[in-house]
Structure 1
């Protein structure tokens, strides 16, 4: 499998990015925090969706401030092309998947869950397996070594598909136990059914059924006889009830008619009273009309005298006041137009006043600002002049410090005048002396050990001589050829003792020279530090001199600017006085216009009063006409009510003449007798029906028991057949469970051996030193590192860099095992390393480069490494640069021309 292209829009720190990935080793390079890892997270998210987010949510995927994000990944797998497109969009307060489509060679898969399942089946690994095998995420390089043995075993077994065998074995075990439980239950059920069949056969169910059916038939016949008599009684009762209901309806109609007659008579009286009240209101309204006519005439005279109306227009004709109303409205319109014109002139003048006032205020404010600015600039110039003296003093002190540093450098170099080496060679000289010291210490230790052995041999020989025995063989010394060897051993002790003293003296002299060499190295370092300090002081002096010149120029500029601001402020205050004079002129014009508007308002109020009076007069005339019409309508309505009253009285007399009290009493007696019989018959029927229902229930119970007896016999036959089948199935499940267990153990052992071999090959390739001999992996995936001396080490005891390389080697070995084990059926995904150099020093980074190169040589088609380390770039076939804009906080990607260019 190979990634071909990834396209991002509003994904995390990427607003819009597109990247092509080729075969071979690709290094994604950039500074920390630039967004390198987000590119790999986008590929992982495209494949597995929310399962790739760990504890994060879809909200974290979308760029801050954006509403949606798009991720599109194109990849090849098994020689076929695939493309996944995901769109995440905010819906309310949470982000949700708006689109998820996978374009496969032969079909299209839609939906986040369906796509994730398809990818897991295609790659034969879910999201967790992907990060345990092919994707070494940032900070998780030590994940496998930190895992417990059981967790590590589960991870690797799942990757090697052995977890399926354990799942199948557990299923077979569960099936076997389930069959066993069912068998136990079945055997108990057969015994229970046998007891139930025996108990039911002892009851004599067929005899019970015959007796109960005879009793039921007799009870049913009695019920039918009583029901016939009950129907006759009900018919009698219904006939009596119809007669009583008929006379009750007539009684109710008579009562209703009496109420209607009374209500109509009352309504007629109330309507006549209402007509009297309308007559009184009509007289009052006519009086109000006369008053309004007098008021209208008075207002007309006043308007004519004020010449608000023409004499012809102010005269009312005999046909009404319509012409007068129109003349008043025309005069009011003329007055309103004149007032509107004056108001417009006022608004214009007010605007001009505001503008002049604003101009004056702005000019005064600007003058204040200019004067304040001038004062600030003079203050700043005074402060700068005061600082100039302090800076010049500081500059003199630094020049004196520069002379002192030169004296110290010269004094440090003078220490090399009588030294055995020249200035600059002290470090090499000290290293040479350290090597001499180490050699002398080794030689001295060897001599001391040999001296100790020789002295022990002499002491033992002298003790044997004192006892009269040979120091070589322990036999009596008489005529022994070995007696002379003791003298040689004593001579050897003296030689070793002298050699020891000589070596000790040489070591002491070298140690003294080493102390001197160390002092010279410190002197060289002191000189280097002093020269660095001297350069810093020189830079500070140059910077201070430049700053002093700039400040002098700044003081002169500030004082000139302050004078210019004072002159501008004076001009602004003169502008403000001119604007205030223009505003006062406009205020006088406004006073004249307001007086004219007051006169117009009096004339308009007089005409509006006349118009209101004319409107009121018209309303009164309408009200008089309306009262006349209402009075006539109420008279017509009472005439109709009197006709209905006469009809109802006649109907009431006819109903009262047709009422027969004897017939009603006879109907009540028949209803009472029929009701009493019905109650007695229904009580008897209820008891008989209960008896019949009980018999039916008992018959049903007996029949049910007979059915149950037959069902129990059939059930027993079925259970016996099923029991026999489950006995055979139990044996098959037990055999299948053992087969899966044996197969898993055998495959695990084979995989452990292969993984151990590949792990050692990879670790030896990238970690070539004499400290470790090999790595051992047992059947439970417990890892042990052996030193050259055979001492076992837990991987946790390795240094940080060694432990990181160890884990990377383990990951690569697992990757190789998976690739070789299922090659052709499920091509492996790219090998992805996200910031693998976090725990590595420069030496270990070089070994990581060797590891990457070896995986490429072993046939891994695509390797993607994310790192800010320059050393990894040399192993790359392609380089991708990631940069983040500090202003927008958005990242961009671009492919580098050649890895060599970046390395330079």
Structure 2
């Protein structure tokens, strides 16, 4: 695999980047925090998507602050094809949520996959490793260089086995073992099933189902013939029973008709009696009505005589009286209306007068309150103007305080950017100080070890005199370098003190800026308040003048109302007297109308009684005719009774009922016997059906037994194949592990010998469990974790490069097309001597055919030895990183 191009949008500190890569060694340099490692993380994330993030990070951590979307595109060449991977991300800065919205894999510009999960699986297959293997072999991340050495033996064995694809063989062996166990379970289940089916077959055959079925079929035929004979007997009994029932029904119908006719005769006699009673009652009511009518006529004559209208037409008289009454009522109504109008007008004048007094009082209070409010507004405006003068003085004081700080009011607008810039410079100095501290600590540790050796005078290994040796020279060089680093740290501290002082002045200026802004906002608010108060004051003055004018109008109107009210009272008194006279005359008319109406009602009542008498006489005549009809109907019904008695004499009901009981008893006995025979035949049929099912089941069980025997033979063959396959995977895995351990041991010692020439160590041993042991030249064994910090870091690089070299050869010795070898800050724990060894290691990897090596470092030696150099810089104002190629 050869990386060709990386494109970034809104990732980490990169707003936008388009970077091309060449073959050879490429070093990415720059100060701490500039964004060097972000390039390597972008390549890693583009290949494997969100799988690269561990539990302490989320997708939103890799997206540039404030951005809503981001993307990474990585172009590379593999096996003669051009590939590109694109990862797309979406972010919600307010909620802090982000997601991997898309992933596209292209080959030779043609889309292969456009979904994150499928793209991840394709990349893993293409590189023959997942993100974990990539981290452990290809991508040596900052701070993770000694993961393999510090791991437990079992974890180290799993990691290296997975890198060398041996984990697949173990997975296949486990699958074969699971298959073998599963086949064994099926064998046992099938053998148990054979035993069960064989026992069932023998049990059925022992019961002789065919012979028993023939016996039951003979018995069923005999029962069928007996049932047929009994059905014929039952039908004859049923015919005789129905004939007897018809005769009984005819007798009962005649009896019912006789009872009905007798009831009708009785009902007609009762109606006849009721008619005679009604005639007597009607004759009595006629006598009573005639007496009542005579009394009413006497009362009419008395009333006419008492009120002077005994002669003449009553309706004409009543009409004249009612006409006079209506005229009086109309006159009274007119007087009442005129009086009500005048009284209403007088009431309105009184209400207007009271409302006038109320309005005058309210206007007096409103004028007084308006004047008080106007005085308060003027006082409040004066207080606001005095506060503005105080704030202007405070703002002038702030401006005067800015001059000693070297700032102006205009510069305060950019004070936040100045603060961020100074803060970033301070962080850079802290990072540089930490870096110098680490270097000084390593030099001092190395000087201490060298001092211990020089104090002994001779090398404890070769017993040579150390005076004038390279150790003495390197100690002197380290001492000089330590002085230079201390001087550089002293200069850094002075810069830090200067920056701290400057940061304090900037913080003070931020306070002044806040005071200026607060005072400005308050002045603006007070000026707006004054304008509002002046506007309200003008409105109050206008309102008071308007109230004074309204008071004058109300006083004039009150005088007019009092004059009008006096004239209305005299007119109301005159109308009252006229109404009293009309009411007396109207009462007399009403008495005459009441008497006339009473006479008219009595006349109507007399006419009604006369009509009732006439109707009652007609009703008596009708009742007498009905009695004659009832006599005729009774005679007809009695003739019908004599005819019914004649027809009923030909039936002997007791004999018919006795025959019916005999026929019903015979029918019941025969039906019971038929039902019993049916049940017996049904039982025989069920038994025959059960035997038929048992015979069918016997055939099915025999067929099942044959299939199960065939299945056992098939499972035995499968079980043997699974056993052989499991053993084969174990042999292949063991052989490949042995081969890989031998090859890896050879590569580790080759690189180790190349790196540690003229050193105290002789070789490294890798055992079958991937345990590593370092041997000194005198044969003493040493665990790698007991090496010094720089030697341990370098030894880890040797192990990583040996694994990378083995993977690059592939299983059959061909190039597997691995990604470039990537190292992130590999010199962090290395002194100058070990850095030179690292450069030798990089050269060796390049010489054995590693096409691309990417290194992130600010070490000058690595930069000088690189084929290509990219320099990363970060703008402290925009917080954006950029890259230039040297």
Instruction: Please give the TM-score of this superposition, normalised by the length of structure 2.
Output: 0.53
Q: 2:832 aligns with which of 817, 838, 842?
A: 842
Please say if residues 78 and 824 of structure 1, whose CA atoms lie closer than 8 Å, have aligned partners that are also in contact: no
Tell me the residue number matched to 1:104: 107
Residue 846 of structure 1: how far off its partner (Å): 2.5
Choose which of 857, 861, 865 in structure 1 pairs with 2:851: 861
Q: Provide the rounded CA distance (Å) in 1 between the counterparts of 2:843 and 2:696.
A: 82
**2:754 corresponding residue in structure 1:** 765
Q: Is the 8 A contact 2:170 2:729 kept in 1?
A: yes
Query: What secondary structure does 1:32 align onto?
Result: coil
Is 1:17–1:892's contact at 8 Å kept on the other side of the alignment? no
In the alignment, does 2:114 pair up with 1:114?
Answer: no
Q: What residue is the counterpart of 1:344 in the other structure? A: none
**How far did residue 682 of structure 1 move?**
14
What is the correspondence of 1:308-387 to structure 2 with a 5 Å cutoff? 360-370=382-392
In 1, the alpha carbon distance for the partners of 2:765 and 2:536 equals 102
* Alignment partner, residue 724 of structure 2: 735
- Tell me by how many angstroms 1:754 deviates: 1.6
> How far apart are 1:783 and its partner, in Å?
1.1
Q: Deviations over 1:18-45 (max 9, x none)?
A: 3333322222223333333332222222
1:352 Cα deviation after fit = 12
Instruction: Flag the 1:589–1:795 CA change in 2: closer, same or farther, 3 A.
Output: same
Distance 1:763 1:217 in 2: 104
Q: CA deviation at 1:802?
A: 0.9
Q: Quote the residue 2:741 is aligned against.
A: 752
The 1:893–1:214 alpha-carbon spacing in structure 2 relative to 1, beyond 3 Å, is farther
In 1, are the aligned partners of 2:453 and 2:459 still within 8 Å (CA)?
Answer: no
Q: Are the aligned partners of 1:360 and 1:580 in contact in 2 as well (CA < 8 Å)?
A: no
**1:87 and 2:88 correspond:** yes
Q: How far apart, CA to CA, are the structure 1 residues paired with 2:734 and 2:334?
A: 121
The answer to whether residue 592 in structure 2 is matched with residue 591 in structure 1 is: no
Query: Partners in 2 of 1:297 and 1:222 — Cα distance?
Result: 121
Equivalent in the alignment of 2:312: none
Equivalent in the alignment of 1:132? 136
Go from structure 1 to structure 2 and tell me whether the alpha carbon gap of 1:780 and 1:590 turns closer, same or farther (over 3 Å shift).
same
Q: Find the aligned partners of 1:779 and 1:48 in 2 and give their Cα distance.
A: 32
Residue aligned with 1:19, SS: strand
Alpha-carbon distance between aligned partners in 1 of 2:98 and 2:671, rounded to the nearest angstrom? 73
CA contact (8 A) 2:8 2:71 kept: yes
Aligned counterpart, 1:20:
20
Q: In the alignment, is residue 882 of structure 1 matched against residue 885 of structure 2?
A: no
* Shift of residue 89, structure 1, vs aligned partner: 2.8
Q: How far, CA to CA, are the matches of 1:831 and 1:772 in structure 2?
A: 26
Matches of 2:402 and 2:107, distance apart in 1: 74
Separation of aligned partners in 2, 1:680 and 1:352: 124
Is the counterpart of residue 893 in structure 1 residue 882 in structure 2? yes
Q: Radius of gyration: which is bigger?
A: 2
2:383 and 2:675 map into 1 onto residues whose CA distance is 109
- The answer as to whether partners of 1:166 and 1:740 remain within 8 angstroms in 2 is yes
Contact 2:60–2:96 under 8 Å retained in 1: no
Q: 1:288 to 1:77 in 2, by over 3 A?
A: farther
Paired with 1:67 and 1:680, the residues of 2 have a C-alpha distance of 98
* Aligned-pair Cα RMSD in Å: 6.1
Counterpart for residue 802 of structure 1? 791
User: CA, structure 1 residues 853+887, in 2 after alignment: closer, same or farther (shift >3 Å)?
Assistant: same
Match of 1:45 in 2: 45
Secondary structure of the residue that 1:837 maps to in structure 2?
coil
Deviation of the 1:786 alpha carbon: 0.7
Shift of 1:597: 6.2
Q: Distance in 2 between matches of 1:694 and 1:853?
A: 100
1:7-406 matched pairs, under 5 angstroms: 7-55=7-55, 56-89=57-90, 94-105=97-108, 107-210=111-214, 360-370=382-392
**1:712 shift after superposition:** 2.0
Distance in 1 between residues matched to 2:337 and 2:814, nearest whole Å? 114
Q: Distance in 1 between matches of 2:223 and 2:63?
A: 84
Contact 2:377–2:537 (Cα < 8 Å) also in 1: no
Q: Which residue of 2 aligns with 1:634?
A: none
Return the offset for 1:192: 3.1
Q: CA deviation at 1:848?
A: 1.8
Rounded to whole Å, the distance in 1 between the matches of 2:877 and 2:212 is 100
Deviation at 1:65, TM superposition (A): 3.9
Q: 1:798 and 1:377, CA in 2 relative to 1: closer, same or farther beyond 3 A?
A: closer
Secondary structure class of the residue paired with 2:819: coil
- State the secondary structure of the residue aligned to 2:774: strand
- Partner residue, 1:472: none
Residues 1:841 and 1:434: Cα distance change in structure 2 (over 3 Å): closer
Structure 1 stretches lacking a partner, 5+ long: 237-286, 305-348, 382-431, 447-506, 508-517, 548-568, 607-672, 674-678, 899-904
* Offset at residue 122 of structure 1 (A): 1.1
Q: Residue 114 of structure 1: CA displacement?
A: 0.9
> Contact (CA 8 Å) 1:357, 1:579: kept in 2 or not?
no
| Structure 1 residues 871-896: Cα deviation after superposition (integer angstroms, max 9, x where no partner) | 432232223333444455x44231x3
Instruction: Please state how far the C-alpha of 1:86 moved relative to its aligned partner.
Output: 2.2
2:808 corresponds to which residue? Answer: 819
Match of 1:617 in 2: none
Mapped contact 2:71–2:87 kept (Cα < 8 A): yes
Residue 829 of structure 1 and its aligned partner are, at CA, apart by 0.8
- Residues 1:63 and 1:437: Cα distance change in structure 2 (over 3 Å): closer
Q: Provide the rounded CA distance (Å) in 2 between the counterparts of 1:786 and 1:288.
A: 141
1:588–1:732 CA distance, 2 compared to 1 (3 A): closer
3-state SS of 2:850 partner: coil
Q: Distance in 2 between matches of 1:68 and 1:221?
A: 95
Quick one: which of 817, 828, 835 aligns to 2:818? 828
Equivalent of 1:707 in 686, 696, 699: 696
Determine if contact 1:165/1:740 at 8 Å carries over to the other structure: yes
CA 1:351–1:116 in structure 2 vs 1: closer, same or farther (change >3 Å)?
A: farther
Match of 2:425 in 1: none
1:704-726 C-alpha deviation (Å, 9 max, x unpaired): 43233222212222222232233
CA contact (8 A) 1:27 1:872 kept: yes
| Inter-partner Cα distance in structure 2 for 1:682 and 1:5 | 103
Report how far residue 167 of structure 1 moved: 2.6
- Once the two structures are TM-superposed, the CA of residue 85 in structure 1 deviates from its matched residue by 1.9
**1:789–1:361: structure 2 CA closer, same or farther, 3 Å change rule?**
same
- Residues 327-350 of structure 1, C-alpha deviation per residue, up to 9 Å, x if partnerless? xxxxxxxxxxxxxxxxxxxxxx99
- 2-side partners of 1:94 and 1:741: how far apart? 47
Contact 1:25 1:862 in 2 (8 A): yes
Deviation at 1:11, TM superposition (A): 3.0
8 Å Cα contact 2:760-2:776 kept in structure 1:
yes
Cα 1:379–1:114 shift into 2, 3 Å: closer
For the residues of structure 1 that align with 2:38 and 2:867, how far apart are their CA atoms? 21
The answer for unaligned runs of 5 or more in structure 2 is: 246-331, 350-370, 404-449, 468-475, 506-522, 561-660, 662-667
TM-score, normalised with respect to structure 1: 0.52
CA distance in 1, matches of 2:96, 2:458: 77
Distance 1:440 1:739, change over 3 A: closer
Cα 1:842–1:352 change in 2 (3 A) is farther
Quote the Cα distance in structure 1 between the aligned partners of 2:763 and 2:335.
131
| Inter-partner Cα distance in structure 1 for 2:21 and 2:14 | 17
Q: Matched residues in 2 for 1:3 and 1:350: separation?
A: 87
In 2, the alpha carbon distance for the partners of 1:82 and 1:21 equals 15
Contact map agreement 2:158 2:167 (CA 8 A) in 1: yes
What is the CA–CA distance in structure 2 between the aligned matches of 1:153 and 1:740, rounded to whole Å? Answer: 18
Aligned 8 A contact 1:784 1:795 in 2: yes
C-alpha distance in 2, partners of 1:64/1:353? 57
Cα 1:299/1:75, change in 2 over 3 Å: farther
